[in-house]
Chain A
Amino acid sequence: MIAAIQPEDIRVSLQVAGLSTLICIVVGLPLAWLLARYRFRGRVLLEIAVTLPLVLPPTVVGYYLLRALGRGSTVGRFLEDELGLSVVFTWYGAALAAAIVSIPFLIRTAQAAFELVDPELEQVAQTLGRSRLGVFRAITLPLAARGIAAGIALAFARAIGEFGATVVLAGNIPGKTRTLPISVYDAVQAGDIARANATALVLIGISLASLLVFSWSLVLVRR
């Protein structure tokens, strides 16, 4: 039954979720740190903004991404004409869409992990001669590591399961933008029950595995 799976769907899904998770880490970790450690103007607004994708229908996210980055927009035209980049109907466009809906999971989890690190530890570390960055590397990061790992695992799991925003922005192109969830939808539409079953099973497997990583990180955090 598993034979009915399209291997390219798995490849596209891992590619999209992988890049999406990378974007989440690069953008999300500094934001999580900022939200955990600093009180500044507009902090609440930022917190709402990074949480919004959690409650917004993904199709809405995809629609606005299309409006903002598609051929019809200034940004989109600039990207395509000047840089030869198009986010519409490409796998990295799909990754961008997935990243936006996944990033709240990473930010909120990592923020909580950073907040659990006692600032006094960082201050004492500073009096012992370390720079801010040195303190972050030697104290903050190791102490928050498990929470951050949990956030990454959650963001990855969410990206694997992403459907709405991706399909609106990147469409359904086999081998290019057809991820596993889109493939399930596609197979059901086409009456290909064997492919739908196989793909759904693979999805369940990957999702379970990411959640296992997530729980394992959390168990370690509680120690």
Chain B
Amino acid sequence: MLSVDFEKRLDNFHLRPRFDAAEELIVLLGPSGSGKSLTLRAIAGLLRPDSGRIELPSGVVFDSAGRIDLAPQARSVGYVVQDLALFPHLSVAENIAFGLNGWPKAQQRQRVRELVELLALDGLESRLPRETSGGQQQRVALGRALAARPRVLLLDEPFNALDAPIRNALRREVSRLRRQLGLLALFVTHDLQEAYALADRIAIYDDGAVLQCGARDDVFRSPASVRVAQLLEARNIFEGRVVSKTEAFTEIETPWFRGRARGEGNLAPGARAALCVRPEHVILLRRDRPHSNQLETTLDVELVDELATGNNHRLYLKLAGTEDCIMEADVSAHPYQVMGIATQREWSVALTLEQTVAIPLADA
């Protein structure tokens, strides 16, 4: 069990994160400067909160009320910092063994051998960090952090400097290791795809606070606020007012159209709310084959722009009859070709109830 709830005031910045996690991988996602790395430093004992409490699986490491503040060396967390901070004067094996100070020599050697094997660093033991590649340095840093068998692993954007293929391989590696070792891992990133690929649980950071924390799919499916939806790049967020509400759906009137979202939550008619749907959930339809399902929102649109991103096409669709209301839709390469999207500008879109969410708005 991990539970973080503390406050720290710095120059022009008020850090006040609050979240919890079990033995799983929790991603701290948010823009740079939102306090994710500072949170890791506080958990590691390198930043002292003004008040609050931090509990790790091994016990409480900070509690301002109980006057507990364990030194970094007593917290037994594995901490991988952004630029790795490998000890430049020590070999790969010595770096990995650094946290094993005090173990009998034979056990140290045994443990280093295990990690070298686990992380595929065979043959590099006597090299200095600068004599190894970026991906290898990454694994050395991981091995050094894991050596003393911590129960918590802190990873601060560790794969930033690497090429995409190595990064993907290391992400899988981290997932595998975490499960294999039964660790609780905190992973800081500002990269949405990385967050999605890794997270069991996700905490959304913004300006020093955690806006929402929950299982990954829950957070993606039901952002608690428009800001969370924006940070998760939901893109299609239309503010309006609830006009009717049933068990099955919440109908929202926006300045541009009327649409339906899932019925969960307790939004009453008249309340301000935003209708939100992710680009990958916007369904593109031919206009001559109108959809029949009454519960879905169908709208006529005009393709005004597009952006190819490798396997995907991001389509910018202007709602018919509006000046500037753009809906974004993702279409993968195959349907893009089959449907002949490149040559046809007039389309319809359907928003399914299942994938459309109503987000409450504060009353203006």
The interface of chain A, by Cβ under 8 A from chain B, is: 118, 120-121, 123-131, 134, 138-139, 142-143
Number of interface residues of B (CB under 8 A): 25
**Contact: B87 with A125, CB < 8 Å?**
yes
Considering the complex, give the chain A residue whose CB is closest to the CB of B83.
A120
Q: A118, A128, A134, A142: which has the most chain B beta carbons within 10 Å?
A: A128
Residues of chain A contacted by B83 (CB below 8 angstroms) = 120
Report the Cα distance A134→B88, complex, angstroms: 17
Q: Which of B48-56, B73-81, B166-174, B346-354 contacts A (4 or more CB under 8 A)?
A: B73-81
B291 to chain A, nearest CB (A): 57
Give residues 70-113 of B contacting A (CB, 8 Å): 71-73, 75-79, 81, 83, 85, 87-89, 98-99, 101-102
Residues of chain A contacted by B87 (CB below 8 angstroms) = 121, 125, 139
**Contact: B73 with A124, CB < 8 Å?**
no
**Contact: A123 with B88, CB < 8 Å?**
no
B138 to chain A, nearest CB (A): 14
Residues of chain B contacted by A124 (CB below 8 angstroms) = 79, 81, 85
Report the Cα distance A124→B46, complex, angstroms: 9
Considering the complex, give the chain B residue whose CB is closest to the CB of A118.
B85
**Contact: B81 with A125, CB < 8 Å?**
no
Residues of chain A contacted by B79 (CB below 8 angstroms) = 124, 127
A24 to chain B, nearest CB (A): 25
**Contact: A125 with B98, CB < 8 Å?**
yes
Report the Cα distance A123→B84, complex, angstroms: 12
B88 in complex: contacting residue of A126, A128, A131, A143, CB < 8 Å: A143
A127 in complex: contacting residue of B45, B89, B101, B102, CB < 8 Å: B45
Report the Cα distance A134→B99, complex, angstroms: 12
Report the Cα distance A130→B147, complex, angstroms: 14
Residues of chain B contacted by A118 (CB below 8 angstroms) = 85
B237 interfacial by beta-carbon distance below 8 Å:
no
Residues of chain A contacted by B99 (CB below 8 angstroms) = 128-129
Considering the complex, give the chain A residue whose CB is closest to the CB of B82.
A120
24 A-B residue pairs with CB within 8 Å: A120-B81, A120-B85, A123-B44, A124-B81, A124-B85, A125-B98, A126-B45, A126-B71, A126-B72, A127-B44, A127-B45, A127-B72, A127-B73, A127-B77, A127-B78, A128-B73, A128-B98, A128-B99, A128-B145, A129-B99, A129-B101, A130-B73, A130-B98, A134-B101
